Amino acid sequence: MKYKKLTLEIVVFPDDAEAVIAALNSAIDRIEETHPVFGGEIETTPIEHSGKRRESALRHVVNAGKTATSGVKLAAQKATEAYRKVI
């Protein structure tokens, strides 16, 4: 039988690392209630990071919605201006 290895990399502040590890362990325990999990470990390594936070998928959707809304408003404004010029 073939298995799939899932790799997850998360960068957190050093002071938050223990709390995040505890939350991940709890999440893995909940996953094990419904799915068999074979092996695995949580490894911590100090790194230098730019400090830029990851944008969530929700943030991308919200930004795309704002862009689309701006485009529709601009199109409506231009259509109104053109209509006024015709009349």
Average pLDDT over residues 56-79: 86
- Residue 10, φ and ψ in degrees, nearest 5: -130, 135
Q: What is the mean pLDDT of the chain?
A: 84
Greater confidence (7 vs 19) lies with 19
Cβ(49)–Cβ(11) under 8 Å? yes
Cβ(24)–Cβ(32) under 8 Å? no
Greater confidence (50 vs 58) lies with 58
pLDDT at residue number 52 = 66
Q: What is the pLDDT of residues 37-57, one digit of tens each?
A: 888 788 888 877 666 666 677
